[in-house]
A and B are shown apart, each in its own frame.
Chain A
């Protein structure tokens, strides 16, 4: 049944991205979980990679908001679309210096489950297309 898996993905968003509690990943992912996220040099490949990605966002942006735009699943797979927004007033982001500008970008993810734990993730973002907002 997909609903339990939808709840797990929803809790990932709430705990990791909203509450900045990256260690929650250890509770909902298999030990050998792999992640492949297409975002240029931020391409990350494991649980620690997703934690690092979250840390980078928090290091670079204030007022970081995450909104679930889409969440649905079938069997052992869940599709998630997130809208991120934040103000770039902290560290450099993808080589861009902070100028206090607001950015909004989307991510599309697919989560694959094994025994009710996330074992694989692949995703993509349009953040590269949105970097003009930071100039």
Chain B
């Protein structure tokens, strides 16, 4: 049986990150949610920031796919290991011009819950190490 917290993370990944349905943000996070993504200049710290990051990613990439490779829950925490793939054929990304190249990276995320909503999020992704794929 899948837990409610895992379901929320799955909705976030499948509907928001992958399909860019940013309206889901208001139903998944506490209003004062803080997100800390170690992603160089893309480090973002609130719901609006995360929303902008998602929009920006979809402006840069098409065929965006997020595969959940791991989902581990304990207490108020859910860990997710995501494999992200996309084609860089939209806007510039981190200073790199689009050339139609495929981009793949991993993201390790921990979501902390309060009263059934995501209240804190932190993650590390190997985006910078993978930028060579876009050149």
Q: Evaluate contact between A2 and B74: CB separation under 8 angstroms.
A: yes
Q: Evaluate contact between B72 and A110: CB separation under 8 angstroms.
A: yes
Interfacial chain A residues near B79, Cβ < 8 Å: 72, 79, 110
B2 an interface residue at 8 Å Cβ cutoff?
A: no
Q: How far is the CB of B102 from chain A (nearest CB, A)?
A: 18
Of A40, A73, A126, the contact of B38 (CB 8 Å cutoff): A126
Of B73, B74, B77, B126, the contact of A124 (CB 8 Å cutoff): B126
Of B72, B73, B74, B124, the contact of A126 (CB 8 Å cutoff): B124
B:22-64 near A, CB below 8 Å? 38, 40
Q: Is the interface of A mostly helix, strand, loop or mixed?
A: strand
- B71 and chain A: residue at smallest CB distance: A74
- B125 and chain A: residue at smallest CB distance: A124
Interfacial chain A residues near B38, Cβ < 8 Å: 106, 126, 129
B70 an interface residue at 8 Å Cβ cutoff?
A: yes
Q: Evaluate contact between B124 and A108: CB separation under 8 angstroms.
A: yes
Instruction: Report the Cα distance A133→B73, complex, angstroms.
Output: 34
How many chain B residues touch A (Cβ–Cβ < 8 Å)?
18
Report 19 cross-chain contacts, Cβ distance below 8 Å, ordered by A residue.
Answer: A38-B129, A72-B72, A72-B75, A72-B79, A74-B72, A74-B73, A77-B70, A77-B72, A79-B74, A106-B38, A108-B110, A110-B81, A110-B108, A124-B106, A125-B124, A126-B38, A126-B124, A128-B129, A129-B40
Q: What 8 A-B pairs have minimum CB-CB distances, sorted nearest first?
A: A72-B74, A108-B108, A126-B38, A79-B79, A74-B72, A38-B126, A126-B124, A124-B108
Instruction: Report the Cα distance A81→B38, complex, angstroms.
Output: 13
B128 an interface residue at 8 Å Cβ cutoff?
A: yes
Interfacial chain B residues near A32, Cβ < 8 Å: none
A70 an interface residue at 8 Å Cβ cutoff?
A: yes
Q: Evaluate contact between A38 and B75: CB separation under 8 angstroms.
A: no
Q: How far is the CB of A58 from chain B (nearest CB, A)?
A: 23
Of A72, A123, A129, the contact of B128 (CB 8 Å cutoff): A129
Q: Evaluate contact between B70 and A110: CB separation under 8 angstroms.
A: yes
- B40 and chain A: residue at smallest CB distance: A129
A:51-87 near B, CB below 8 Å? 70, 72-74, 77, 79, 81
